[in-house]
Amino acid sequence: MKNDRLLKALRREPVDRTPVWLMRQAGRYLPEYRATRDQAGSFMDLCRNAELACEVTMQPLRRFDLDAAILFSDILTIPEAMGLGLYFTPGEGPKFEHPVQDAAAIARLGKPDAEDDLGYVMNAVRTIRRELDGRVPLIGFAGSPWTLATYMVEGGPSKDFRRIKAMAYDDPATLERLLGLLADAVTDYLNGQIAAGAQAVQIFDTWGGVLTPAGYHQFSLAYMQRIVAGLRPDPQGNRVPVILFTKGGGAWLEAIADTGCDAVGLDWTVDIGSARQRVGDRVALQGNLDPAALYADPAVIRDKVGKILADYGPGPGHIFNLGHGVTPEVNPDHVATLVDAVHELSASDHH
């Protein structure tokens, strides 16, 4: 592979400079992405078309010197394949026509088949790997069981998570049945991506941070740990590194690091230096510039990048990223400033 910095950093091996990729690096802030999405007709049509999903995955790599590509897809592909009727309302995000809000609805759910029901994702992975031709590694991903369950039970985004939290308190056994089904589905789905060519995988636990500490361990972390344990090697027999990212999970870094994952993603509310002290050499750390810093002046962006690199300190095991995804109104030139600053300013830490 021409550039394997990311995979080396995930294994905590020395690198010449800190690798960088960005959550939502292919997205609405790029005019070429918006044009391709318009061409596809809808967001899900874009996900289902392997050639167009490949095109938008490659777009940020043409503009920026990124150290990884991430599969273009959505975390809600699994519930969509379960027949919940995913649709998107402009300005309101994803919604489901058939949310599952009681034991009977959950009992009716079946586990989707990774190659049949979600074969379009595997086709996209194979297409992207072919197009990348060893340039940088490809990251596959899935939503965490808890995060998927929040959308499935609430029927869409939520401010208070009242339905799923009521279920967690009143009928935890029913929620655990749903989470168990989702853990099995996510494991199969990620193993399908690995078989198709994903070289690292990330589990996005977007809503883990809304739980109590006990709730997080019971309803989110336990199921992510089950997935990590169920991941298989790639077709060549190599272990595929897994990154766990819980937004709002800063209080539980030690427990996340103990799951057997290779890297812990940090949001912007955590100091990366103290995170490194807390987890020691057990895992790599990924993060964690505040995405809103990309609205700032380029000189400020450089300064903030430098501060995170300095706070992490010398030595291997850091993957630079944002603390969450790139937001739609960001100027692409500011993303270039960030990527270039990471490579330039980290070179001295790795000699």
Report the percent of the chain where pLDDT is more than 90: 97
Convert the pLDDT of each residue in 263-298 to its tens digit: 999 999 999 999 999 999 999 999 999 999 999 999
Q: Which residues pair with 86 in a beta bridge?
A: 96
Q: Average pLDDT, stretch 62-91?
A: 95
Q: Name the active-site residue from 11, 34, 74, 311.
A: 74
H/E element, 243 = strand 242-246
Q: Which residues pair with 219 in a beta bridge?
A: none
Q: Is 37 a catalytic residue?
A: yes
- The answer on whether 25 is annotated among ligand-binding residues is yes
Convert the pLDDT of each residue in 140-171 to its tens digit: 999 999 999 999 999 999 999 999 999 999 99
Q: Is 162 a catalytic residue?
A: no
- The answer on whether 340 is annotated among ligand-binding residues is no
Residue given tokens 């850091």 in the structure block: 318
pTM of the model: 0.97
- Residue 351: the pLDDT is 54
Per-residue tokens: 31: 């005019």
Q: Is 16 a catalytic residue?
A: no
Q: Is 151 a catalytic residue?
A: yes
Query: Is the Cα dihedral 248, 254, 255, 260 positive or negative?
Result: positive
Q: Which domains does the chain have, with CATH numbers?
A: 71-242 (3.20.20.210)
